[in-house]
Amino acid sequence: MITKRNRATGAVALLLMLTVLVVGGCESDSVVPNDSLPALTEGEAAQQAALAAMAVSRVGPQIVLFDGTKLSSKVLGVYPYTFPPGSDVQGTVTLEFFDGGPGGIHSTWEEADYALLYTSGEEGVTVDLESGGGFGLTFDVTALLDRPADTATISGGGVFTTGEIDSPFGFTDLVVTAVSSYPSGGSMTFTAGVHELLVGFDGDSTAVIMVDDVDTYIIDLDDGSVTEITSG
């Protein structure tokens, strides 16, 4: 578990959206693979990581919350799920359920001990922000299910897209539950240009971003905002 320490009074504003993310960081000496795009600053990369973490906390629990009695399935254990109108997340994911672990057979959702959640092709889901703007994500997730406890341990990743920038992310052993949208454990890596960030979850409404093994930012998982950690 990553320890939170030295909460900052200053905040990185939740304004690094779409066009701002694309044009931001022009003063940086960093280089991204696509020379036509300006390099992201560490703060901009952290903001992207925060938004991806917020989205993971919205989408991940659907593996546990999913109720197949409300949807029809043409193939045993394979269900398309469309997020309801008005929710932060819009779009469709596919859920597949298995009995017998990763090598098991398709089963009904309520009998499953293993699941997949993924988006199709380049089509992902979008997340709209109350502050305006939004971003897209693709997902490819595996999950070990514990039905009696209503928990799932998920691993996998996807791609975060805003403007012309695609940033891959991955997570390992993220524990999601039916009673909370905040992962109770696990970590997520996030790559934005030359920046490699690590997000740690501990079950509450915040998460920590580590840069070079140092706790550097605090994430608010409710709105995706980030606060820089300062010493002293």
Ordered per-residue pLDDT tens for the chain, 232 residues: 333 333 332 333 333 333 233 323 333 333 334 445 467 889 999 999 999 999 999 999 999 999 888 777 888 999 999 999 888 899 999 999 999 999 999 999 999 999 999 998 777 999 988 766 789 999 999 999 999 899 999 999 999 998 888 899 999 999 999 888 899 999 999 998 889 999 999 999 999 999 888 889 999 999 899 999 876 5
Q: Examine residue 182 and state whether it is found in any structural domain, yes or no.
A: yes
49: helix, coil or strand? helix
Neighbouring C-alpha atoms within 13 Å toward the C-beta of 8:
18
Q: Kindly report the pTM of this predicted structure.
A: 0.80
Q: Is residue 4 part of a domain?
A: no
Pairing of strands 214-220, 78-82: unpaired
The domain tally of the chain equals 1
Asked if the structure places residue 111 within a domain, the reply is yes
Phi, psi of 112 (to 5 degrees): -75, 150
Helices (H), 40-192: 42-59, 62-65
- Residue 2 within any structural domain of the chain: no
Residue 62 forms part of a structural domain: yes
SS (H, E, C) 82-123: ECCCCCCEECEEEEEEEECHHHCEECCHHHCCEEEEECCCCC
Per-residue pLDDT reduced to its tens digit, 4-58: 333 332 333 333 333 233 323 333 333 334 445 467 889 999 999 999 999 999 9
Which amino acid does the sequence have at 124?
A: G
Q: How many residues does the chain have?
A: 232
- Per-residue confidence (pLDDT) for residue 16, from 0 to 100: 32
Q: How far apart are CA 21 and CA 9, in angstroms?
A: 23
Residue 66 identity: F
Question: Residue 1: inside a domain, yes or no?
Answer: no
Domain housing 215: 11-228
Tell me how far apart the alpha carbons of residues 19 and 208 are, in angstroms, rounded to a whole number. 26
Is there a domain that residue 33 lies in? yes
